[in-house]
Amino acid sequence: KEKELCTGTGAGSGARMGPALFQFSCSVRAGKDIKEAEAAMNEVIGAAATVPVTEQELQRVRASARRSDVGMRESALNRALTLADNAVLYNDPNRINTLSARLTAVRLADVQRVARTYLRPENRVVMHTLPGAATPPAPPSTQSR
Lowest mean pLDDT, pick from 19-23, 32-36, 41-45: 19-23
Do 58 and 111 contact (CB within 8 A), yes or no? Answer: yes
- Model confidence at 145, in pLDDT bands (50, 70, 90)? low
DSSP state of 113: H
For 71-114, write each residue's pLDDT tens digit.
888 889 999 998 998 899 889 999 988 988 888 888 888 988 99
Of the pLDDT bands very low, low, confident and very high (cuts 50, 70, 90), residue 143 is low
pTM of this prediction?
A: 0.68
Q: How confident is the model at residue 16 (pLDDT cuts 50, 70, 90)?
A: low
Among candidate residues 51, 34, 46, 44, the one with its CA nearest the CA of residue 121: 46
Q: Average pLDDT of 25-44?
A: 93
Q: What is the pLDDT of residue 108?
A: 87
11 closest CA partner among 57, 67, 66: 57
pLDDT digits (tens, 9 = 90+) for 120-129: 999 888 998 8
